[in-house]
Structure 1
Amino acid sequence: MIFDSWGGIIRVLALGACAYVALVAALRISGKRTLAKMNAFDLVVTVALGSTLATVLLSKDVALLEGIAGFLVLIVLQYAVAALSVRFGVVEAIAKSEPAALLIDGAIDEAALRRERVTREEVLSAVRSSGIGDLSAVAAVVLETDGTFSVIGRDRAGNRSALPNAPGAAR
């Protein structure tokens, strides 16, 4: 079906504008951290907010205020988990993963690759994407908590103790 009725289109436009304003207001009040995709938990909240918005816009079974309540529940829970993570290490350990060094001083850590379910080719791709052509020029490749790779060249290595699971790393 391509067209049902003008009433459906007007409903989507009106609800879309109202839901958008409500979501933006809630996000502005809750702060930048709400949509910071710093880890898997943050990504889930972001996707859930988008799904909730889509449901409010397209489902006649969900009222605008129910959708706004959904936004608020997700944002309040994300805020609470983030705040508790800052204060309590056990909450942080449950909600967030730790970064993992996959390559240190040009040598790939095969055990870390298996533990993190990352292939050697993915590490090599990250190194190439950073503009480095030789593994000996890499001080480290770190799998960050959000699933991205950080490639640190030897020329920018700085303090090795900041690298996760590196010898002498701060824990």
Structure 2
Amino acid sequence: MNEYVDAAFRAVVLYFIIIISLRLLGKKDISQLALQDFVLILLISKSLYNDAGLGPGITMVLTLAIINYIMDWILFKSKKARKIIVGEPVVLIENGNVLPKALNCEKLTMDELIAGLRKQGYEKIQDVKWAILETGGEISVIGK
């Protein structure tokens, strides 16, 4: 029984350590996958290769599924939790002007910004009124 409690405890600790670590990496590194879903996939794959045995492995997977469900519920209900865990959109270009401080804060290079604009069909920064780095890592663009 003690090994099951240990497996559940390790799952909870690992879940939050990985969420915090990925949050520190920034939006552009997370891609389209929701943060908590990415963590769940990582931890489930890790728990399947754990040497602790089938019982603790199943306990860990179930604990992770429960944590993920609770986290989804919290993020759905709490704007403050969403802001802390998922983050907020960041304005990169405002009224046609690139905001270097925002690029630095998000660890985004000018080349990456320009590539993101091209993906949205804009060849020149001068054609862009607003560019926003969304919480999922994609860049939304509003033309002039």
Aligned to 1:142, what secondary structure does the other structure show? strand
Identity of aligned residues (%): 23
Structure 1: tracts of 5 or more residues without a match: 1-35, 156-171
CA distance in 2, matches of 1:131, 1:37: 23
Structure 1 residue runs of 4+, over 6 Å off?
Answer: none
CA distance in 1, matches of 2:143, 2:127: 6
Look up the match of 1:152: 141
Aligned to 2:66, what secondary structure does the other structure show? helix
Look up the match of 1:18: none
Does the Cα contact within 8 Å between 1:81 and 1:91 map onto a contact in 2? no
Matching of residue 37 in structure 1 with residue 33 in structure 2: yes
Find 2:68's aligned residue among 65, 71, 78: 78
Find 1:51's aligned residue among 34, 46, 65: 46
AA at the equivalent of 2:90: A
CA distance in 1, matches of 2:60, 2:123: 48
- The RMSD of aligned alpha carbons is 2.4
Q: Where in structure 2 are the equivalents of 1:88-103 lying within 5 Å?
A: 88-103=78-93
AA at the equivalent of 1:47: L
Structure 2: tracts of 5 or more residues without a match: 1-31
State the TM-score, normalized to the length of structure 1.
0.55
- Work out the number of aligned pairs and report it: 113
Q: 1:137 to 1:128 in 2, by over 3 A?
A: same
CA distance in 1, matches of 2:38, 2:123: 31
CA distance in 1, matches of 2:82, 2:63: 20
Shift of 1:153: 4.2
Greater relative CO, 1 or 2 (CA 8 Å, sep 6+): 2
